[in-house]
Amino acid sequence: MQRLQTRAQFQAVLAGSTVARTSHFALHRCALGGASDDAATLFDPPALWLGAMVPKRWARRAVTRNAIKRQVYNVSSSFEAALPQAAHVVRLRAGFDRKEFASASSDRLKAAVRAELHQLFERSLRESGKAAAR
């Protein structure tokens, strides 16, 4: 699995479609096959690409942002074989309640993030299966 590095890569994936959503996360995908020359140069070699966006707006503390990104990469590695060869971005789209998760790197927060990421990837696989069946 390759990681997205540049702003252009993230922008190209975010311009693609949103394939799954949960209450806190969204999964964006940009297909690599049949892409324009620009996308082909951005995502070379063609493989599974993944990036994580955790805006400061939704996670104020750096320790929280980094903990969420680590969970994204850890959970995605367990779905690596099932995900299609495409570029993916997992984007945090809402903040976790600071009253419920007081510590930025608490085990409760990590478990909640992990559970929701599992839901996100499972939904994306279900949607991919539905699209392939059509």
Give the tens place of pLDDT for each residue, 42-78.
888 888 999 999 999 998 889 989 999 999 999 999 9
| Domain limits for position 91 | 2-133
Proportion of the chain above pLDDT 70, given as a percent: 90
Q: pTM of this prediction? A: 0.85
- The answer, yes or no, to whether residue 80 has pLDDT greater than 70, is yes
Number of domains making up the chain: 1
Please, which pLDDT band fits residue 10 given cuts at 50, 70 and 90?
very high
pLDDT digits (tens, 9 = 90+) for 98-115: 888 888 778 889 999 999
Q: Which amino acid is at 72?
A: V
Q: Which residues contact 12 (CB under 8 A, 6 or more apart)?
A: 30, 38, 39, 42, 43, 87
pLDDT digits (tens, 9 = 90+) for 84-100: 888 999 999 998 888 88
Instruction: Say which CATH number the domain at 12 has.
Output: 3.30.230.10
Q: Which residues pair with 31 in a beta bridge?
A: 86
- The answer, yes or no, to whether residue 134 has pLDDT greater than 50, is no
Q: 91 phi and psi, to 5 degrees?
A: -115, 130
